[in-house]
Amino acid sequence: MRISKSSRTSSERLIRIAKPGAILSSNTSALNVDQIAAATPRADRTVGLHFFSPANVMRLLEVVRGQQTSPVTLATAMCLAKRLGKIPVVARVCDGFIGNRMFEEYLRQANFCSMKAPPRLRSMGPWSDGAWQWAHLR
């Protein structure tokens, strides 16, 4: 597994300032939690917390379990999510995790439907809200 220089530098900096028992977490679906974990001596205490945008509206929170994430770290992340009023789901490391992979297909189908719709209908029905209404929140 290739670990970028920036991941290694950021992880080294965090390890120097974080308490020994601290959990390291990332909030993005673009960074690989396993790569972040590989750049730190705390791989078992590394997890992803993928909040959906806008975080104050969206209740779903993907808790991303890396290959070396410990059961205690995973349980702690799940408890934190619940304390924040989120609905946590466990995801493995993969492109887009769960929500973005589903949303991508939803948008693909919505775009296909809109291409087939007569122009006067494009401002009505599912084209006036649905995928596009949700997409503007991102």
Residues 60 and 117 occupy one common structural domain:
no
Residues 72 and 34 occupy one common structural domain:
yes
Residues 48 and 87 occupy one common structural domain:
yes
CATH number at residue 22: 3.40.50.720
**pLDDT lower than 70: segments of the chain:** 1-4, 6-7, 29, 95-103, 113-115, 117-138
Residues 52 and 78 occupy one common structural domain:
yes
Per-residue model confidence (pLDDT) at position 65: 95
Per-residue model confidence (pLDDT) at position 46: 94
Residues 14 and 64 occupy one common structural domain:
yes
Give the Cα separation of 84 and 23 in Å (integer). Answer: 17
| C-beta of residue 87 within 8 angstroms of C-beta of residue 59 | yes
In this predicted model, what pLDDT tens digit does every residue of 12-51 receive, in sequence order?
Answer: 788 889 898 899 998 876 778 898 888 888 999 999 998 8
Range of the domain at 68: 5-92
Residues 71 and 124 occupy one common structural domain:
no
Residue type, 59: R
Beta strands, E only, the chain:
24-26, 46-51, 60-65, 87-92
Per-residue model confidence (pLDDT) at position 26: 86
Residues 24 and 39 occupy one common structural domain:
yes
Active-site annotation holds for 50: yes
Per-residue model confidence (pLDDT) at position 76: 97
Per-residue model confidence (pLDDT) at position 74: 97
Choice among 11, 23, 48, 50 that is catalytic: 50
Residues 63 and 119 occupy one common structural domain:
no
| C-beta of residue 60 within 8 angstroms of C-beta of residue 89 | yes
Residues 78 and 104 occupy one common structural domain:
no
Residues 128 and 76 occupy one common structural domain:
no
| C-beta of residue 103 within 8 angstroms of C-beta of residue 110 | no
Number of domains in the chain: 2
Residues 58 and 79 occupy one common structural domain:
yes
Residues 71 and 103 occupy one common structural domain:
no
Give the Cα separation of 65 and 43 in Å (integer). Answer: 11
